[in-house]
A and B are shown apart, each in its own frame.
Chain A
Amino acid sequence: AQSVTQPDIHITVSEGASLELRCNYSYGATPYLFWYVQSPGQGLQLLLKYFSGDTLVQGIKGFEAEFKRSQSSFNLRKPSVHWSDAAEYFCAVGAAGTASKLTFGTGTRLQVTL
């Protein structure tokens, strides 16, 4: 069965500092990987996705993520965090090449201090 682990429940960073949110997945085949962000009272917004090809993917709002098959990881990064990035971040995995359910991690809550 597929699974996603986000080991950090809560992270606090200062505005302007760099950010890395960890995501490890377990999946028996080629995975599709996603990062979503959920701001308070808002729905889930897609930040970026990896289907195939270049393992470093760029997303919206200056985020990027790197797929490392050997480590079963898909960590999210941002070089300089803005106060508006404070939100909950979810990593998700789905089956490649077919519409199917996503399996989500439990999320990482990001707090940004000024």
Chain B
Amino acid sequence: GAGVSQSPSNKVTEKGKDVELRCDPISGHTALYWYRQRLGQGLEFLIYFQGNSAPDKSGLPSDRFSAERTGESVSTLTIQRTQQEDSAVYLCASSLAWDTQYFGPGTRLTVL
């Protein structure tokens, strides 16, 4: 079946603008995760949704970052008033409950 998809694949924005990144998880996957990968670094956890439970927001670096998920479907990661240090690849993953996380191709965000 279809894998995790993310859009846009690339986003260039100016400092101070807001951006929205979208993730479509694998159908039926109850858990959805957002990670950030800065150039040359590993992945940093941002936020995690599991079913109808309150999301785990412990990885969000500031209050400029927020995410929503509608039921067990699409999620949107929003970054307000973008800064240059927000430049990174943002990766989304989904999983069946506690099972393996499957990753999307990512959105490369460049803040000028």
> Chain A residues in contact with chain B, CB under 8 A?
32, 34, 36, 42-46, 49, 90, 92, 94, 96-107
* Residue pair B105, A43 in contact (C-beta under 8 Å): yes
Cβ contact within 8 Å between A101 and B42: no
Binds A, one of B12-20, B65-73, B78-86, B93-101: B93-101
Measured between C-beta atoms, what is the minimum distance from B22 to chain A in Å? 15
Does the CB pair A102–B45 fall under 8 Å?
yes
12 additional A-B pairs beyond A34-B101, A46-B100, beta carbons within 8 Å, are: A36-B103, A43-B4, A43-B105, A44-B91, A46-B102, A90-B43, A97-B98, A101-B56, A102-B33, A104-B35, A104-B42, A106-B41
A49-B100, A99-B31, A101-B59 given as contacts; is B105 within 8 A of A90 (CB)? Answer: no
Residue of B nearest to A42 (CB): B105
Residues in B with CB closer than 8 Å to A49 are: 100
Residues in A neighbouring B44, C-beta threshold 8 A:
104
A-B contact pairs, 25 of them (CB 8 A): A32-B98, A43-B103, A43-B104, A43-B105, A44-B91, A46-B102, A49-B100, A90-B42, A90-B43, A92-B43, A94-B101, A99-B48, A99-B50, A99-B95, A99-B97, A99-B98, A100-B56, A100-B98, A101-B45, A101-B48, A102-B33, A102-B35, A104-B42, A105-B42, A106-B41
